Chains A and B, each alone.
Chain A
Amino acid sequence: MLKSINETTCACQVPPKGTVETNPSRPTWMLLLAAPLGIALWWLVYTHLAAFSQLLTYRLLPFTPGSHLGASVEFFLYDTPKVMMLLVLVVFGVGVIRSYFSPERTRALLAGRSLLAGNVLAALLGIVTPFCSCSAVPLFIGFVTAGVPLGVTFSFLIAAPMVNEIALGLLYGLVGWRVAALYAATGLTVAIGAGWVIGRLKLEHHIEDWVQQMTTVGDSPVENRLTLWDRLVYGKDAVVEIIGRVWIYVLLGIAVGAGIHGFVPEGVMAAVMGKGDWWSVPLAVILGVPMYSNAAGIIPVVEALLGKGAALGSTLAFMMSVIALSLPEMVILRKVLKPRLIAVFIAVVATGILFVGFLFNAVMG
């Protein structure tokens, strides 16, 4: 059981092709020429996807405009290339940014910070630090033993998966910048707030004893100096690795979204996930916990839900609980945390998500 969890959550970072050596002295003028050209081409294709999907669905394939199945197929054929193209761009960009950060560096930045400022910094660094949940345990120990306060460590551990570059890029592309910005802001707020609360509760003695007795030695290894070309290769590797891992979830997510788009009547979602009932937010959170999808798969579903009148607060809550509260991560963290601390962690994060859900259902339409 544990083994399979490790496998599914662990293939995070780039396994570069072992035989390919990067050439550090690649001419930069080639790059300067290729970059604008590539982006122009990308944009040209991207802006014609809607027309293309309609042509494909109703002219080349035998679907009638206005039919349920036709609407589903059109949604699928439109969203799939759109999401993939967005993913490539976002993952590449974030990959390049991430090459400037490392967990070791983040740890050094966070060690000995005071509570509130530390929580804010930790949550922000959580977005840009390359981190994968299979490293959660060594990272946790490394942080805590190096003098990063427990609450600050939690802010990092919550923000890192939740405010996720894939989620943000897809939300921006599929749902709009307003929801993307709201998601980033509220995700950070939950991470900062939850970490601060955990810090204030003084739960340090609920870390497993063997961790508390541990003293880590040594500093981080030598940091490699990377050229711009190296960083671009890092970005490219990230694209290959991440797209290779998530494409199946993306297709599944878009298929579910397409089904909702074509077949679920307007208003049904408003009744189930509408803002009228107070219980819709807690229900969304509870539904989200056992679901372990990554951000890439959940966003097309979110797009379709919002399109059918689901309330923004309930939908945000659902998305956050799917991404941030995952059972596999709890199982991994159980190695270093006593049950009581795990329970506090879940309770505090769930409360934060509930708060976000209620707030947006109350404020927005």
Chain B
Amino acid sequence: MEIKILGPGCAKCEKTAKLVQEVVAETGAQARVVKVTDMMQIAGSGVVSTPAVMVDGEIKSTGKVPKKGEIAGWLK
């Protein structure tokens, strides 16, 4: 499983990345967490508002820091 955190590196994006990594560690999910900070790539994935989270190419959340419960739901 591949989880992408899309965002230019602002405070919200860092927070999102941190939460996702925490949830991955807690649940022991087999997932690779990748940060995407390049504007071209972000816009190219169809994301309009950052931070956004993609799991295996599917946009799960945009424009907000997701809650831990939500993240855990995507990892199943």
Footprint of B on A, CB under 8 Å? 3, 6-7, 9-16, 18-22, 102-104, 107, 130-132, 134-135, 137-139, 141-143, 145, 210-211, 214, 216-221, 335-336
Contacts and interface: CB of A to CB of B under 8 A. Distances in A.
A interface secondary structure, majority: loop
Interface string B8-52: 111111010001001000000000000000011011111111100
Given A15-B65, A221-B61, A3 B43 contact: no
Interface of B: 7-13, 15, 19, 22, 39-40, 42-50, 58-65, 67-69
A10 B8 contact: yes
Contacts, number: 110
A221 B60 contact: yes
22 contacts: A7-B11, A10-B11, A11-B12, A15-B15, A15-B65, A18-B22, A18-B68, A22-B67, A103-B48, A132-B49, A134-B7, A134-B10, A138-B42, A138-B43, A138-B50, A143-B48, A216-B43, A216-B44, A217-B45, A220-B59, A220-B62, A221-B61
A103 B8 contact: no
A336 B11 CA distance: 22
Given A137-B39, A139-B48, 9 more contacts: A12-B12, A14-B65, A15-B12, A134-B10, A142-B48, A214-B40, A214-B44, A217-B46, A221-B58
Given A13-B64, A220-B62, A135 B48 contact: yes
B48 A138 contact: yes
B8 A134 contact: yes
A19 B68 contact: yes
Contacts of A22: 67
B26 to A, nearest CB: 11
A142 B43 contact: yes
Contact of B40 (A10, A16, A21, A210): A210
A144 to B, nearest CB: 10
Given A137-B8, A210-B40, A14 B64 contact: yes
